[in-house]
Amino acid sequence: MNVRKVLAPTLLAAGCSLLTVSDAHAMHISEGILPYGWAAFWFLASAPFVAYGLRRLGQASEGDLSFKPLVGLLTAAVFIISCMPIPVPVAGTASHPCGTGISAILLGPAISVLVAAAALFIQALFLSHGGLSTLGANIFSMGVMGSFTGFVVFRLLRRFKVSLAAAALIAGILADWATYVTTSFELAAGIRGDAPLLPLFLKIMVAFIPTQLPLGILEGMMTAGMISLLHRKRPDLLVKMRLIEPEESVPCN
């Protein structure tokens, strides 16, 4: 893979997004939405996954100099994909594609958590998307739940001989929807006060449906498209990532 040719336009697009960002609507869970107790709880819940992701990154890159550039490329892709917000005013947040299904399939869920954490940190620090106090909650929903759901679904479907594209499609959809089920729970738990948790949780989930339902399907199609493209153009990478067997490296017409 010629990383420079792919990474240059990706970083250019990221730079453009920095110049054109609007403060009208924060994405992910916004700064100040969660009480500090809940914010601290989600930081503690996310920290072991981030630490394990750092460890896995070190292990995976020890004997492969091309691995870290690939992680950087996918971090830039997740950053841009998740910078496409559609506001959900009644939920105090925004809908957007996540990209963690793709990174989890290609890199594994632990490193995908690290990819999401890096993208979310940059967005919170420089774009006012999400927030620093809510970073732990956003990492847990998008990084942990999105990555592990996408990875487990993809691997499970492949074990049952589902095609590469179909497995990636379903994994991308469910990774996206798992993120927003978790976000709905985080919001409901944080803002409910003395109110019952379940009715508020369901109300927030329903608020997400008009935007997140089609966005999840779109993300599934995007995930399937990227995996299929790699299967056609660079099947050796999929063999290297143990996504396909060597005999599958030449796709059937």
Which among 230, 249, 219, 248 has a CA at the least distance from the CA of 106? 230
212 within a domain of the structure (yes/no)? yes
Most confidently predicted of 17-31, 46-60, 85-99, 181-195:
46-60
Structure confidence at residue 17 (pLDDT): 37
220 within a domain of the structure (yes/no)? yes
User: The tokens of 210 are what?
Assistant: 């008009």
19 within a domain of the structure (yes/no)? no
20 within a domain of the structure (yes/no)? no
3-state helix/strand/coil string of the chain: CCHHHHHHHHHHHHHHHHHHCCCCCCCCCCCCCCCHHHHHHHHHHHHHHHHHHHHHHHHHHCCCCCHHHHHHHHHHHHHHHCCCCEEEHHHCEEECCCCHHHHHHHHCHHHHHHHHHHHHHHHHHHHCCCCCCCHHHHHHHHHHHHHHHHHHHHHHHHHCCCCHHHHHHHHHHHHHHHHHHHHHHHHHHHHCCCCCHHHHHHHHHHHHHHHHHHHHHHHHHHHHHHHHHHHHHCHHHHHHCCCCCHHHCCCCC
pLDDT of 13 > 90? The answer is no
CA 67 to chain centre: 19
Structure confidence at residue 66 (pLDDT): 84
CATH number of domain containing 143: 1.10.1760.20
Whole-angstrom Cα distance, residue 187 to residue 200?
Answer: 9
pLDDT of 83 > 90? The answer is no
- Is the distance from CB of 17 to CB of 9 less than 8 angstroms? no
pLDDT per position as a tens digit, 176-211: 999 999 999 999 999 888 889 999 999 988 888 888
120 within a domain of the structure (yes/no)? yes
Q: Give the domain range for residue 213.
A: 32-245
pTM of the model: 0.83
How many structural domains does the chain have?
Answer: 1
pLDDT per position as a tens digit, 102-157: 999 999 999 999 999 999 999 888 887 788 999 999 999 999 999 999 999 999 99
Residue, of 72 and 252, whose pLDDT is higher = 72
**Could you tell me the CA-to-CA distances from 76 to 82, 116, 185, 190 in Å, in that order?**
10, 10, 28, 30
